[in-house]
Structure 1
Amino acid sequence: MEDNQIEEGEKHRDVEVAPALISVHPSQNSVAVAVGSDLRVHDLLGDGVVSLLDNSGAPSHKDSIRAIRYGANGKLFVSAGDDKVVKIWSAESWQCICTVSSEKRVSAVAISNDGQHVCFADKFGVVWVVDLHGIDGSQASVNKKAAPLLAHYCSIITSLEFSPDGQYVVSADRDFKIRVTIFPKKPLDGAHEIQSFCLGHTEFVSCLVFVITLDYPQGFLVSGSGDSTVRLWDITSGSLLDTCEVDAKAGHLESNGSDEGYSTVTGLCVVPDSTLIAAAIQRQVVSIKGENFIPTSLANSSSTGLLWMVTGVSNLPGFDFPSVSRVKVISGFNKSSPDCLEHEPLVLEDSDIPGGMKLLEKLQGSVKVEEKVFSAAAEAVKTAMCNLLIKKQYSSDKREYRKRTRNDKKIKQ
C-alpha cells in the first residue's frame, strides 16, 4: 500500500518548467534569449538576422536550456541544459565551434576571462572544464571531452563565476555553500586548492556576481539566495562584509495575497562602471506600463547603462502556448557617477528598445500572449525552483522507491 501511495504521488509531481533566460553581449552587439530548447539571438549591429549554424543538422538543443552566457571579450557564447549537451558558439559567426557531452543535466556555465576554458556544472555537484586552445570561430564544430575540475558533495550547483582577475572559480550550491577555488595552471588535472568558503546563507544560493571598485579591482563577490538576502563577501578570506534583506528594501511583497515564505533572489546584475546592483526577486511583481512583470532573468552589457529583463517560461501546462517570453529594458543608470542614478530609471517603450520591434519579434516570438499567462508562468517558475532547490525529506520507504525508479542509471554497453 505504501509503495502504491508513493508511486501515485510521484506521478502527480508538478511539471518541471524552465524559466526564460537572457544574456547580452559585452558591447551590446547582440542579445540572446533562451526559452525551453529554443535559442533566439538578435544581431544589433547587422540587419538583425542570426542563423545558428550547427553542422550536426539537429536543433541547437533538444531539451530545456538552463544556462546561457557570453564570454568577457564577447567572442564566445555558451548554451547548455537538460539535454546534457554544452554548445560553444562563435559570437561573431554564430557557428557552433565545439560540442561537449555531459554525464548529467547541466545547471550552470562560466567562461574564463581569457576565453581559453569553459566550465560547466551538473546536478550531481561536479564542475567540469573544457580546454579551447587551438579552437577558433572559423572552423566547423568539433567534439571535445570535459575533464572534472572540482565537486560539491552531491549538491546541485546553481551558479559559477570566474573572479575578475581570473585567479579563482567560485561555485554555489543548494546546500547554502559558496566555494572559492584557485583556478589551476593546468585545469585538466583538476583544481585541488580551496581558497575559502563563504558561509552564511540559510537557504540555497541562487546566483553570484562580482562588483569591482577602484579601490578593490579584484572585486567583491555578491550572492543572492532563497533566504531573501543579498550578501557581500571578501572571497580571499571568505568574510561576510554586508547583508541586505531584500524584503526590507523592496517593502512587504505579496504573492497571491499571501506573504508566507521568503522572497527568493533569482538573479543579480551589476550596473556597469558603478556599485549599483539590480536584483530580481521571485515574489516581486513589478507593474510596468500597466503590465505585471516578474523577471526570470537579468542582463546588461559593459558598454551601456541599460538593464535588460525577460520574463517567461517553457513547458507551461494548461495553455495553448506553453513557451512564452517578454522582454523589457530599463535605462537611466549613470556610468560617470558610480553611486547614483542619472535620473529616475525609465522603462523604455517597445519601439525605443535597441533593435526595436524587430528585436522583440525575434526574442519574444510573434504570438501575442495575455498577461494572465505570464502570471501563471511566474507561479510555475516559483514552484519549479522550490521543487529543485529546497531539499526534501523522505521516509525510508520513499527513499528506497526512488532508488528503484531512478531514470539516470548508466546503461551498460
Structure 2
Amino acid sequence: MEDAAMENGETNKDSEVAPALIAVHPTQNSVAVAVGSDLRVFDLLGGCAVSLVDDSDGSLHKDSIRAIRYGANGKLFVSAGDDKLVKIWSTESWRCISSVCSEKRVSAVAISNDGSYVCFADKFGVVWVVDVDGFNGDQDFVNKKAAPLLSHYCSIITSLEFSPDGRFFLSADRDSKIRVTVFPKKPLDGAHEIQSFSLGHTEFVSCLAFVCTHECPQGFLVSGSGDSTVRLWDISSGSLLDTCDIREKAGLLESKEIEDRYAAVTDLCTIPDSTLVAAAVQSLQGIILLSCDLSAQTLYVAKVVSIKGDAFIPTSLGTSFSSGLLWMVTGASNLHDSQHPCLSRVKVISGFKESGPDFVQHGPIVLEDDEIPRGEKLLEKLQGGVSFDENYFLTAAEALKTSMSNLLIKKQYSTEKREFRKRGRNDKKIKK
C-alpha cells in the first residue's frame, strides 16, 4: 500500500501545481508577477501595464513559469520554467532579446552582478550559463546558447544566487546542500573551484539570500528549508553560525497558524539598508521578520506580521534597493477544477525604518489596497482582476503544500521496492 502511494505520488497532478512569483525592479521602476504561463509586468514610473513583445517564436511561455529575476542593474529580466525556455528581456522596451532552450525543465535562475551572464538550473541538477556581455540597450542575442557551468548530480536545484561582491556563485538543492563555487573568469569553460559546502539543513533548501550592510558589504548568507529553520552561514568556510527554528520562535510570538507538518520556509527576502530578513512559511498568513546581528553572528525572530481577514499565505517575496516596501504575492496555477487558473493576490508591507520598541509595537504594517503604489490599476494587472475569491487561495495554499512535498521531499521505498527500481535502471541492464 505504501509503495503504491509512492508510485502514485510520482505522477500525481498536484506535483504540477506552480506557485505565483513576484519580482521587483532594483529601483522599483516596475513589478512583475508570474502565475502559470502568464507573465504580468506593471510600469510603476509610467503608471501603466507593460505589453511584452516576443518575436523569438511568436509566443510567450507555454507552461508554468518557475523562476523570474531582475538583474542587479535593472537592465535585464529573466523568466524560465516548465516549457524548457529561458527568456531574457530588455526592461527598457520589454522585448524578449533572447530565448534559450534548456534540455530539461528550469527550476531556478540568476544574473551575475555585472549583468554579463545569465545562469539557470534544470531539474536534472545541471547549472547552465549564457553570455550576454555587451548588452547596452535593445539589441537581440538571437543565437545565444547555454554552456554547462556545474552540476549537483541528479539533485533538483532549488535556488541560485551570486554573492554581493560577485566572487562566488551559490547553488542549493533538494538534498539539503548549499554549494559555494568560485565564479570563474571564463564561465563558459565551466566552474571547477569549490570554495565550500554549507551543510546542516535536514531537509531540502528552498531559498537563499544575503544580509549586507555598509559596514559589512560581503555580508552573511541566510537559507530557508523544509526543516522549518532559517540558518546563518559564513560562505568562505561554509561554517554554520546560527539556526533559527521558525515553529518554536513563532509559537512564542503567538503565531498559532503554523502547522508542524507544513512549516517549510518557502521564500526569503532581505530588507535593504537593514539586517532584517522576511520569511514566508507554508502555513502562515503573513511573514516572519528575522533580525541578524552581524557582529555577534546570530539570528533571531524580531516580529511576526500577520495578515488578518484574508486567506493570504505568501508564495513569493520581493523588494527593491530604493524603497522600504516588501512586495508579496499568493496564488497558484494548474489547480484541479479551478475556475480561476491565473488569479493571484498582491499585498505590500511598509514601515521597516522604525527601530527599537517602536518597531516591535507599531511597524511594519500591511498597506490597504488603495495605499499600494498605483493602487487599483496595478492590482488589476498583476492579480488578473481587483476582486478575489478567498476559498481559491485556501485551496491554492493546500495544493502547494502537496506539490512541494511531492517534488522536493525525497520518497522512501522499502528494500524490495528499491531493488526492483534498480533493476529498471539503464546502467543496470545487461547489454545483449
TM-score > 0.5 by shorter chain: yes
Tell me the equivalent position of 1:128: 128
**8 Å CA contact retained: 1:266, 1:280:** yes
Equivalent residue in structure 2 for 1:291, among 303, 310, 319: 310
**8 Å CA contact retained: 1:267, 1:296:** yes
Tell me the equivalent position of 1:236: 236
1: CA distance between counterparts of 2:38 and 2:340?
14
Tell me the equivalent position of 1:356: 375
More displaced stretch, 287-296 vs 299-308: 287-296
Kindly state the Cα deviation for residue 318 of structure 1 after the two structures are TM-superposed.
2.1
More displaced stretch, 305-314 vs 319-328: 319-328
Pairing 1:338-357 to 2, within 5 Å after superposition = 341=359, 343-357=362-376
Q: What do the CA deviations read for 1:182-230 (whole angstroms, capped 9, x no partner)?
A: 0000000000000000000000000000111333211210000000100
2: CA distance between counterparts of 1:194 and 1:320?
48
2: CA distance between counterparts of 1:361 and 1:170?
36
Kindly state the Cα deviation for residue 354 of structure 1 after the two structures are TM-superposed.
0.6
Whichever residue aligns with residue 404 of structure 2, its letter is M
Q: What do the CA deviations read for 1:150-196 (whole angstroms, capped 9, x no partner)?
A: 11121000000000000000000010100000000000000000000
Aligned to 1:89, what secondary structure does the other structure show? Answer: strand
Kindly state the Cα deviation for residue 133 of structure 1 after the two structures are TM-superposed.
1.9
2: CA distance between counterparts of 1:400 and 1:146?
32
Tell me the equivalent position of 2:341: 322
2: CA distance between counterparts of 1:291 and 1:145?
44
2: CA distance between counterparts of 1:155 and 1:105?
13
2:36 paired with 1:14: no
TM-score where L is the length of structure 1: 0.91
Equivalent residue in structure 1 for 2:326, among 302, 307, 310: 307
Kindly state the Cα deviation for residue 397 of structure 1 after the two structures are TM-superposed.
6.9
2: CA distance between counterparts of 1:3 and 1:259?
26
Aligned to 1:392, what secondary structure does the other structure show? Answer: coil
More displaced stretch, 238-247 vs 133-142: 133-142
Pairing 1:160-309 to 2, within 5 Å after superposition = 160-251=160-251, 259-286=259-286, 288-309=307-328
2: CA distance between counterparts of 1:32 and 1:126?
26
Tell me the equivalent position of 2:387: 368
Aligned to 2:198, what secondary structure does the other structure show? Answer: strand
More displaced stretch, 40-49 vs 374-383: 40-49
Tell me the equivalent position of 1:116: 116
Which stretches in structure 2 are left out of the alignment for 5+ residues?
287-305, 427-432
Distance 1:87 1:402, change over 3 A: farther
Whichever residue aligns with residue 112 of structure 1, its letter is S
1: CA distance between counterparts of 2:404 and 2:374?
32
Aligned to 1:293, what secondary structure does the other structure show? Answer: coil
Distance 1:9 1:29, change over 3 A: closer
More displaced stretch, 11-20 vs 72-81: 11-20
Identity %: 70
**8 Å CA contact retained: 2:56, 2:99:** no
1: CA distance between counterparts of 2:207 and 2:195?
20
Kindly state the Cα deviation for residue 140 of structure 1 after the two structures are TM-superposed.
3.6
Aligned to 1:375, what secondary structure does the other structure show? Answer: helix
Whichever residue aligns with residue 76 of structure 2, its letter is L
Kindly state the Cα deviation for residue 66 of structure 1 after the two structures are TM-superposed.
0.3
**8 Å CA contact retained: 1:78, 1:88:** yes
* Runs of 4 or more consecutive aligned structure 1 residues displaced over 4 Å after TM superposition: 2-13, 252-255, 337-340, 400-404
Kindly state the Cα deviation for residue 321 of structure 1 after the two structures are TM-superposed.
1.5
More displaced stretch, 289-298 vs 48-57: 48-57
**8 Å CA contact retained: 2:100, 2:146:** yes
**8 Å CA contact retained: 1:275, 1:339:** no
**8 Å CA contact retained: 2:68, 2:80:** yes
2: CA distance between counterparts of 1:338 and 1:194?
40
Kindly state the Cα deviation for residue 8 of structure 1 after the two structures are TM-superposed.
6.9
Root-mean-square deviation (CA), in Å?
2.6
Tell me the equivalent position of 2:430: none
Q: What do the CA deviations read for 1:6-34 (whole angstroms, capped 9, x no partner)?
A: 97776655351000000000110000000
More displaced stretch, 242-251 vs 203-212: 242-251
Kindly state the Cα deviation for residue 75 of structure 1 after the two structures are TM-superposed.
0.8
Whichever residue aligns with residue 125 of structure 1, its letter is G
TM-score where L is the length of structure 2: 0.87
1: CA distance between counterparts of 2:112 and 2:188?
14
**8 Å CA contact retained: 1:198, 1:240:** yes
Kindly state the Cα deviation for residue 362 of structure 1 after the two structures are TM-superposed.
0.3
Kindly state the Cα deviation for residue 261 of structure 1 after the two structures are TM-superposed.
2.1
Distance 1:338 1:28, change over 3 A: farther
2: CA distance between counterparts of 1:6 and 1:309?
33
2: CA distance between counterparts of 1:375 and 1:212?
35
1: CA distance between counterparts of 2:173 and 2:109?
13
2:399 paired with 1:399: no
Whichever residue aligns with residue 421 of structure 2, its letter is R
2: CA distance between counterparts of 1:4 and 1:189?
44
Pairing 1:83-98 to 2, within 5 Å after superposition = 83-98=83-98
Kindly state the Cα deviation for residue 351 of structure 1 after the two structures are TM-superposed.
1.0
**8 Å CA contact retained: 1:54, 1:141:** no
Distance 1:80 1:9, change over 3 A: closer
Tell me the equivalent position of 1:36: 36
Q: What do the CA deviations read for 1:328-359 (whole angstroms, capped 9, x no partner)?
A: 00110118x69984942111111110111000
Aligned to 2:402, what secondary structure does the other structure show? Answer: helix
Q: How many residue pairs were aligned? A: 401
Kindly state the Cα deviation for residue 58 of structure 1 after the two structures are TM-superposed.
2.7
